[in-house]
A and B are shown apart, each in its own frame.
Chain A
Amino acid sequence: MVKSHVYPSMTQLLLFLFLSPLIVFVIQLIFGTKLPRKGDFIALLVAVICCVSSSILFVVVWNQSPVTYQWNWFIVGKTIFHIRFLLNNLSVIMLLLVSFISLLVHVYSLFYMRNEVFYHRYWAYLGLFTFAMIGVILSDNLLILYFFWELVGFSSYLLIGFWFKKSSAIQANKKAFLVNRFGDMGFLIAIGILYAHFHQLTITELFAENTLSKYFQQDAFWVHLVGISFFIAAMAKSAQFPFHVWLLDAMEGPTSVSALIHAATMVAAGVFLLIRVNPIFTPSVLLIIAIVGTFTALFAALLACVQTDLKKILAFSTISQLGFMICAIGIGSCSSALFHLVTHAFFKCLLFLCAGIVIYYYKSLFQQQNVNLDAQDIRNMGNLRKTLPLVFITMLIASAALIGFPFTSGALSKENILIHLWYWAVQKEGWYYMFPIILLLATATTIIYTTRFIYKIFIARPTIELLCKDKLVNSLHPLPFSVKIPLFLLSLCCFFVLFAWSPFSLAHSWLLNGFLTGIVYHSGILTTFINVFIISILLISILFYRFSITFSHRFYIFNMQVPQYHAFLNHCRNHITYVPIGGFIRLLNIHRRRTDIVIANIFLMISNLANWVDRKIMDQVAYCSSYIALKISLICSNFDIYGIDGIIHGITTGIRNFSIVLRLFQRGNVQKYLSVFFVTLLLLLLLFYLF
């Protein structure tokens, strides 16, 4: 445990960095509507401060010895729980990433969200999310990490349901919350097992010494269970195969939110967790992780090919790329996973921001033209490269990074993963060669769907006559600065120079060198092969799209009436990607409903079981205890009524009756007075004579 004696002001800086988004959240919630401009400048200022301070922390801590900050939290028995922050290479790079992307999204949101009714609430939620994410990154205690993990889920729930008047948004955020809850359950199980065995939850102390592996060698069951539990948590958060459903529906939120949360940071939390607790995974669990990651990568990429909704294409792309990262973790190469995480965060964020602009453009256009069309559907788009040239260029750069085009950051990280996977498969031999082949297929599919949506949006002629007009009203003609700046900065980050000196030499990547755990493979042949593969696939797909569109135009345009032409175009649009992929995707296209049903059935069974337990056992216990309490209180009340009240009533009744007797002498009846007098005299005389 290393304490921060060297930098005493670091503690304050860290705390400030940590707590200021929370302060923004509180201020925005309480004073949001009363502040000028609904207080967005506060959020922006805090985002800038966070970015600057995390940069300072990054400079100070990077490649230095890890720094730990610790405060006592609470004490259970003899166990002291600490609020413990750890600053090492992993956390500072994540910190920088999160705060930087958060800042850019803040800037972007100034323009993008400016007309919202609940503008202040948006900033509050962003503040809460940033706080939670920083907490996840910093905390060194599993319990604290769990809290922030939950908080991330909660803030994403709030942001997905930001347009809470849309029923689809409500459904989506409910779904996201429930799926994340399932993952959190895995996390909680893992924490419980770890605490039961080690009586502490501090990550560094759990994993630093060799006690963990020694202990778990004796008891393999528990270590498998812990590993799988952690992986379930990460799967839910990173939207891996069975749990990927929530991420698609999460696209109901604002696009800026999707850019921040569902592309760059939040979904990365699952990968981050896996990297953090990496030592606990046994080889078999790692194999499961690799299988799930690989499968998800190909599966999501294939699904992206048949999607027509722009944001959902990007969401599937995210899932696919996360599959790449998970796969990298599964083969034991955390550094390459992290590298891909960082590069992916930048280009995916850029893609989402561009998609936001495109959607914004079409939405305003459709509103102006008074047509009821889906602004997110790529079938309604086309030929945007002249209208929005800057967006076209930046999106092209981001797409290049996504597909791993040479000279981009994505190329470096993707190559890294593929090379690692190849060497891993070479070590294992046998059917393990499936993994690099599948990932290569996934890469190829990535190229196909990326080319598809870029071509459709920016190059192809729009299929709707409305958009074929030459002069359309461009509501975004001078692109606002708050959009330009993030786009520009993120485009810069998509190039290789930020991560490595050489575009082909991974050995020079400072980021990979920061993590000495991973072995850096370097192979010129493989690099060349991958690059050639990517470029060739890219060329093929471009030619295909170009050819297919022009072919169909030329072939059919002269022999067709207008309605037939439109019907044909619809057919083209819908089946344009089915040609290369074939009927296989038709089967996959129905997957979502099926998986939803299966998951829903599992949840239903669990909840039915819980309901039964609740009804038959808990309710009975509660009923019995309430019955006993009722009886006791009945006894008490009887004692009160007949005992205490009875005494009082007895006294009062006695006094009353006695006074009734006494009242007889006070009625004003003289004869009765005298009769009483005589009777008394009689009795007295009798007494006198008898005794």
Chain B
Amino acid sequence: MLIDIQCYLIVSSILFSIGIYAFLTKRNVVMMLIGIEFMINAAIINFVAFSKYDSNNEGQIMAIFIIIMAAAGVAVALAIILNLYKHYKTIDPNQVHELGEK
């Protein structure tokens, strides 16, 4: 192996941590969504990295599935975010803590 698997794993870990940080601290729902995407990508990196050692390439197939689901999630999430903005005139998650009509 030319490149050790540890490199992939560490990069994915860093990416995952960045995603966590973005999700936890950003006061913007879009940025939180991006953080989620980072975390998903970190997972995909792990899948792909391990699939290098797999003759059946099942890790890649899982990665494709994950990408599709992430895209679907993003579509729905964006729709929710826009509705949220229409409703509350803000996309700060801390200010959106009430259900139903304002």
Q: A: which residues have CB within 8 A of B? A: 667-671, 674-675, 678
Q: Once the chains bind, are A678 and B24 in contact (CB under 8 Å)? A: yes
Check B4 for interface membership: any CB of A closer than 8 A: no
Q: Once the chains bind, are B97 and A668 in contact (CB under 8 Å)? A: yes
- Bound-state CA distance A675–B94 (Å) is 14
Set B20, B25, B32: member contacting A678, Cβ < 8 A:
B20
21 A-B pairs, CB-CB below 8 angstroms?
A: A667-B97, A668-B96, A668-B97, A668-B98, A668-B99, A669-B93, A669-B94, A669-B97, A670-B32, A670-B93, A671-B23, A671-B24, A671-B25, A671-B32, A671-B93, A671-B94, A674-B23, A674-B24, A675-B24, A678-B20, A678-B24
Residues of B within 8 A of A671 (CB): 23-25, 32, 93-94
Contact with A along B17-37 (1 / 0, CB 8 A): 000100111000000100000
- Bound-state CA distance A674–B96 (Å) is 16
Nearest-CB distance from A231 to chain B (Å)?
A: 100
Nearest-CB distance from B99 to chain A (Å)?
A: 8
Contact with A along B80-102 (1 / 0, CB 8 A): 00000000000001101111000
- Bound-state CA distance A172–B70 (Å) is 114
Most chain B CB atoms below 10 A, which of A667, A669, A671:
A671
Residues of A within 8 A of B98 (CB): 668
Nearest-CB distance from B97 to chain A (Å)?
A: 3
Residue of A nearest to B20 (CB): A678
- Bound-state CA distance A393–B64 (Å) is 149
List 3 tightest A-B contacts by C-beta distance, closest first: A668-B97, A670-B93, A675-B24
Q: A670-B32, A671-B24 are in contact. List 8 more A-B contacts (CB 8 A).
A: A667-B97, A668-B96, A668-B99, A669-B97, A670-B93, A671-B25, A671-B94, A675-B24
Interface of A is mostly: helix
Residue of A nearest to B96 (CB): A668
Residues of B within 8 A of A678 (CB): 20, 24
- Bound-state CA distance A670–B98 (Å) is 12
Interface of B is mostly: loop
- Bound-state CA distance A674–B20 (Å) is 9
- Bound-state CA distance A671–B23 (Å) is 7
Residues of A within 8 A of B20 (CB): 678
Q: B: which residues have CB within 8 A of A? A: 20, 23-25, 32, 93-94, 96-99
- Bound-state CA distance A667–B24 (Å) is 15
- Bound-state CA distance A671–B20 (Å) is 10
- Bound-state CA distance A475–B49 (Å) is 143
Residues of B within 8 A of A668 (CB): 96-99
- Bound-state CA distance A675–B23 (Å) is 9
Nearest-CB distance from B67 to chain A (Å)?
A: 22
Residues of B within 8 A of A674 (CB): 23-24
Nearest-CB distance from B46 to chain A (Å)?
A: 16
Residues of A within 8 A of B99 (CB): 668
Nearest-CB distance from B59 to chain A (Å)?
A: 23
Residue of A nearest to B94 (CB): A669
Residues of A within 8 A of B24 (CB): 671, 674-675, 678
Residues of A within 8 A of B93 (CB): 669-671
Residue of A nearest to B36 (CB): A674
Residue of B nearest to A667 (CB): B97
Residues of A within 8 A of B96 (CB): 668
Residue of A nearest to B99 (CB): A668
Residues of B within 8 A of A675 (CB): 24
Residues of A within 8 A of B25 (CB): 671
- Bound-state CA distance A667–B97 (Å) is 7
Nearest-CB distance from B34 to chain A (Å)?
A: 14
Residues of A within 8 A of B94 (CB): 669, 671
Residues of A within 8 A of B32 (CB): 670-671
Nearest-CB distance from B31 to chain A (Å)?
A: 11
- Bound-state CA distance A667–B99 (Å) is 11
Residues of B within 8 A of A669 (CB): 93-94, 97
- Bound-state CA distance A668–B32 (Å) is 15
- Bound-state CA distance A477–B97 (Å) is 111
Residue of A nearest to B27 (CB): A671
Residue of B nearest to A671 (CB): B24
- Bound-state CA distance A668–B97 (Å) is 5
- Bound-state CA distance A220–B93 (Å) is 111
- Bound-state CA distance A674–B99 (Å) is 19
- Bound-state CA distance A675–B25 (Å) is 10
Residue of B nearest to A668 (CB): B97
- Bound-state CA distance A671–B22 (Å) is 10
- Bound-state CA distance A678–B35 (Å) is 14
- Bound-state CA distance A671–B25 (Å) is 7
Nearest-CB distance from A193 to chain B (Å)?
A: 94
- Bound-state CA distance A674–B24 (Å) is 7
- Bound-state CA distance A675–B32 (Å) is 13
- Bound-state CA distance A670–B93 (Å) is 7
Residues of A within 8 A of B97 (CB): 667-669
Nearest-CB distance from B2 to chain A (Å)?
A: 30
- Bound-state CA distance A671–B97 (Å) is 11
Nearest-CB distance from A151 to chain B (Å)?
A: 86
- Bound-state CA distance A668–B20 (Å) is 19
Nearest-CB distance from A306 to chain B (Å)?
A: 108
- Bound-state CA distance A678–B93 (Å) is 18
- Bound-state CA distance A671–B27 (Å) is 9
Nearest-CB distance from A683 to chain B (Å)?
A: 15
Residue of A nearest to B23 (CB): A674
Residue of B nearest to A678 (CB): B20
- Bound-state CA distance A52–B32 (Å) is 118
Residue of A nearest to B93 (CB): A670
Residue of B nearest to A675 (CB): B24
- Bound-state CA distance A71–B83 (Å) is 102
- Bound-state CA distance A678–B19 (Å) is 12
- Bound-state CA distance A670–B32 (Å) is 10
- Bound-state CA distance A668–B93 (Å) is 9
- Bound-state CA distance A678–B32 (Å) is 15
Residues of B within 8 A of A667 (CB): 97
Nearest-CB distance from B33 to chain A (Å)?
A: 11
Nearest-CB distance from A42 to chain B (Å)?
A: 86
Nearest-CB distance from B19 to chain A (Å)?
A: 11
Nearest-CB distance from B90 to chain A (Å)?
A: 14
- Bound-state CA distance A193–B20 (Å) is 104
Nearest-CB distance from B29 to chain A (Å)?
A: 9
Residues of A within 8 A of B23 (CB): 671, 674
- Bound-state CA distance A99–B93 (Å) is 108
Residue of B nearest to A670 (CB): B93
- Bound-state CA distance A670–B77 (Å) is 14
- Bound-state CA distance A43–B29 (Å) is 106
Nearest-CB distance from B56 to chain A (Å)?
A: 29
Residues of B within 8 A of A670 (CB): 32, 93
Nearest-CB distance from B17 to chain A (Å)?
A: 10
- Bound-state CA distance A667–B20 (Å) is 20
- Bound-state CA distance A678–B25 (Å) is 13
Nearest-CB distance from A173 to chain B (Å)?
A: 85
Residue of A nearest to B29 (CB): A670
Nearest-CB distance from B75 to chain A (Å)?
A: 19
Nearest-CB distance from A671 to chain B (Å)?
A: 5
- Bound-state CA distance A669–B24 (Å) is 10
- Bound-state CA distance A669–B32 (Å) is 13
- Bound-state CA distance A674–B33 (Å) is 13
- Bound-state CA distance A496–B32 (Å) is 135
